Structure 1
Amino acid sequence: MTATTRLDPESCYRAVKSRDRRFDGVFYTAVRTTGIYCRPSCPARTPAFHNVTFHPSAASAQAAGYRACKRCLPDATPGSPDWDVAATAAGRAMRLIADGVVDRDGVDGLAARVGYTARHLGRILTAELGAGPLALARARRAQTARVLIETTDLTYADIAFAAGFSSVRQFNDTIREVYASSPTELRGRRGGRPATGTVTMRLAVRTPYAGRALLDFLALRAVPGVEAAGEGWYARTLALPHGSGTVRLELPDVAEPGGTAFATATFRLEDLRDTAAATERVRRLLDADCDPVAVADAFAGDPLVGPLVRRWPGLRVPGHVDGHEIAVRAVLGQQVSVAGARTVAGRLVAAHGRPLAPPVAQPEDGLTHLFPDAGTIATLEPEELPMPRSRGRALVGLCAALADGTIALDRGPDRDQVRSALLAIPGIGPWTADYVALRALGHPDVFLPTDIGIRDALRGLGRDPADAARLAEAWRPWRSYAQLYLWQTHSSKEQ
Structure 2
Amino acid sequence: MLGGVTELLEGRRGGQGLDAERCYRAVASRDARFDGWFFTAVHTTGIYCRPSCPARTPLPGNVEFHPTAAGAQAAGFRACRRCRPDAVPGSPEWDVRADVVARAVRLVADGEVERSGVAGLAAALGYSERQLHRLVVGELGVGPLALARAQRAQTARVLLETTDLPVADIAFAAGFASVRQFNDTVREVFATTPTGLRGSRSRTGRGSSGWLTLRLAARAPFSAEEVLLFLGGHAVAGLEEWDGTTFSRVLDLPHGPAVVRLSPGADGASVTARLHLTELRDLGTAVARCRHLLDLDADPTAVDDVLAADPALTRLVRAAPGRRVPTHPDAVEAAVRAVLGQHVSLAGARTFTARVLTAAGTPLPEPVGTLTHAFPRPGALVDADLGAVGLTGKRRSTVHALAAALIGGDVDLGPGADRAEAGRALLALPGIGPWTVALVALRGLGDPDVWLPGDLALRRALTALGSSDADAATRWRPWRSYAVLHLWAMSAPALFTRHPEDSP
C-alpha separation in 1, matches of 2:222 and 2:274: 20
Please give the TM-score of this superposition, normalised by the length of structure 1.
0.94
The corresponding residue for 1:208 is 221
2:252 is equivalent to residue 239 of structure 1? yes
The corresponding residue for 2:179 is 168
Do the aligned residues in 2 keep the contact of 1:81 with 1:290 (CA within 8 Å)?
yes
| C-alpha RMSD of matched pairs (Å) | 1.6
2:397 is equivalent to residue 393 of structure 1? yes
Could you tell me how far 1:386 is from its partner in structure 2?
2.0
Question: Among 256, 272, 283, which residue is 2:280 paired with?
Answer: 272
Structure-to-structure mapping, 1:259-408, within 5 angstroms: 261-358=269-366, 361-363=367-369, 366-380=370-384, 383=387, 385-408=389-412
Do the aligned residues in 1 keep the contact of 2:489 with 2:495 (CA within 8 Å)?
no
**Structure 1, unpaired ranges of 5+:** 256-260
Could you tell me how far 1:6 is from its partner in structure 2?
3.6
C-alpha separation in 1, matches of 2:466 and 2:153: 51
Give a deviation string over 1:125-164, Cα, whole Å, max 9, x none: 1121121011110001001111111112222122112211
Question: Among 442, 447, 461, which residue is 1:443 paired with?
Answer: 447
Do the aligned residues in 1 keep the contact of 2:434 with 2:453 (CA within 8 Å)?
no
Give a deviation string over 1:213-241, Cα, whole Å, max 9, x none: 21121111111000001122100001111
- Mean Cα deviation higher: 485-494 or 436-445: 485-494
Could you tell me how far 1:18 is from its partner in structure 2?
0.4
C-alpha separation in 2, matches of 1:254 and 1:183: 28
The corresponding residue for 1:463 is 466
Question: Among 55, 79, 84, which residue is 2:66 paired with?
Answer: 55
Letter in 2 for 1:103: E
The corresponding residue for 1:429 is 433
Letter in 2 for 1:362: V
2:143 is equivalent to residue 135 of structure 1? no
2:419 is equivalent to residue 415 of structure 1? yes
Do the aligned residues in 1 keep the contact of 2:292 with 2:446 (CA within 8 Å)?
yes
Q: Kindly tell me: are residues 164 and 192 of structure 1, through their superposed partners in 2, closer, same or farther at Cα, counting changes over 3 Å?
A: closer
SS at match of 1:346: helix
C-alpha separation in 1, matches of 2:417 and 2:465: 39
Could you tell me how far 1:65 is from its partner in structure 2?
0.8
Do the aligned residues in 2 keep the contact of 1:394 with 1:427 (CA within 8 Å)?
yes
Letter in 1 for 2:264: L
**Length, aligned pairs only:** 483
The corresponding residue for 2:500 is none
Could you tell me how far 1:484 is from its partner in structure 2?
0.5
C-alpha separation in 2, matches of 1:375 and 1:454: 34
Letter in 2 for 1:213: E
Structure-to-structure mapping, 1:120-199, within 5 angstroms: 120-196=131-207, 197-199=210-212
**Structure 2, unpaired ranges of 5+:** 1-8, 497-504
C-alpha separation in 2, matches of 1:14 and 1:137: 30
Do the aligned residues in 2 keep the contact of 1:202 with 1:265 (CA within 8 Å)?
yes
Q: Kindly tell me: are residues 249 and 396 of structure 1, through their superposed partners in 2, closer, same or farther at Cα, counting changes over 3 Å?
A: same
Do the aligned residues in 1 keep the contact of 2:162 with 2:202 (CA within 8 Å)?
no
Give a deviation string over 1:396-429, Cα, whole Å, max 9, x none: 1001111222212112121100000000101110
C-alpha separation in 2, matches of 1:382 and 1:193: 43
- Mean Cα deviation higher: 476-485 or 197-206: 197-206
Do the aligned residues in 2 keep the contact of 1:5 with 1:128 (CA within 8 Å)?
no
Q: Percent identity?
A: 55
C-alpha separation in 2, matches of 1:426 and 1:351: 23
